[in-house]
Amino acid sequence: MRRIGVVVAAVLFCTGVVEATPQKTQSNAATSKASKAKHHVAAFSGHNANKATLRTDPLDKPSGHISLRAENLGEEVDVNIYKSDGSFDEGSLAKLDDMFRCAKTGEVRAVRRELYEQLSRIEDHFDGKQIYLVSGFRFAERNSSRHYHASAMDIRIPSVSINEMYKFAETLDVGGMGLGIYPTSQFIHVDFRAPGEPSYRWTDYSGHGGGGHKTKAKPSGHTQPARKPTS
């Protein structure tokens, strides 16, 4: 009877009625792999902004006040970018340019004035709280970066969530702005795109992007401000 049982089992195995144990193991492994892939989150995702969401009303003129701490340099500045007559104060812009200098090379460039106006609008909206500059002009960056063109900033406000900052920054986009949010490094990126480029939005979980690492500037490479103070 034992021999008959062995023969019957062999027949069932060969005809496929009984599956081999290793096949079950492979199936479980494949399911587990698929499950992990399903929960994978891309480090970067971006898209052109929906034109219907862009601001159509003209932007209000900001107070011009900017209280800024460059955390990559350990320096602070408190200025107003406007004179009493409403024109730009070149001396204040020069001080901000210096705060925006490349942390790696010390190079200074004239930062786009509209970017400073956006910075002031963000400060006005969040009750004058000091803004932390994570990264400004980056001379050692690839030339496709808006940081290289002195037209971008990575910022945060310690007491304000980056989601709140991002949502408000979106309301300032009348076209041609780039906005990125960095949940891992906890800052938002604001820039003005190259002429003709559409507004762009992205999320980056990579933990880097030019702003996640604090770097001290090299004193020997510090150049003169791009804008010289005027009396």
* Tens of pLDDT, residues 118-135: 999 999 999 999 999 999
User: Nearest 5°: phi and psi at 33?
Assistant: -65, -40
∠ Cα 94 197 120 (to 5°): 35
Enter the tokens of residue 127: 């009750």
Nearest to 97 by CA among 223, 211, 227: 227
Top-confidence range, 16-30, 143-157, 201-215? 143-157
pLDDT per residue as tens digits for the range 14-44: 444 444 444 444 555 555 555 554 555 679 9
Strand duo 187-192 + 152-156: pairing: antiparallel
CATH pick for 65-215 out of 1.20.1420, 3.30.1380, 3.40.50, 1.10.150: 3.30.1380
Mean pLDDT of 78-88: 98
Contact between 120 and 63 under an 8 Å Cβ cutoff? The reply is: yes
Percent with pLDDT over 90 in the chain: 69
What is the C-alpha to C-alpha distance for residues 112 and 93, in angstroms, rounded to an integer? 10
Instruction: For residue 219, count CB atoms less than 10 angstroms from its CB and return exposed for 0-12, middle for 13-18, buried for 19 or more.
Output: exposed
pLDDT per residue as tens digits for the range 90-109: 999 999 999 999 999 999 99
Question: Between 181 and 206, whose confidence is greater?
Answer: 181
Does the pLDDT of residue 197 top 90, yes or no? yes
Interacting residues of 21 by C-beta distance below 8 A, sequence separation 6+? none
What is the C-alpha to C-alpha distance for residues 128 and 205, in angstroms, rounded to an integer? 29
Half-sphere exposure of 71 (CA within 13 A, CB side): 18
Of the chain, the end-to-end C-alpha distance in Å amounts to: 111
Sign of CA dihedral 203, 206, 210, 215: positive
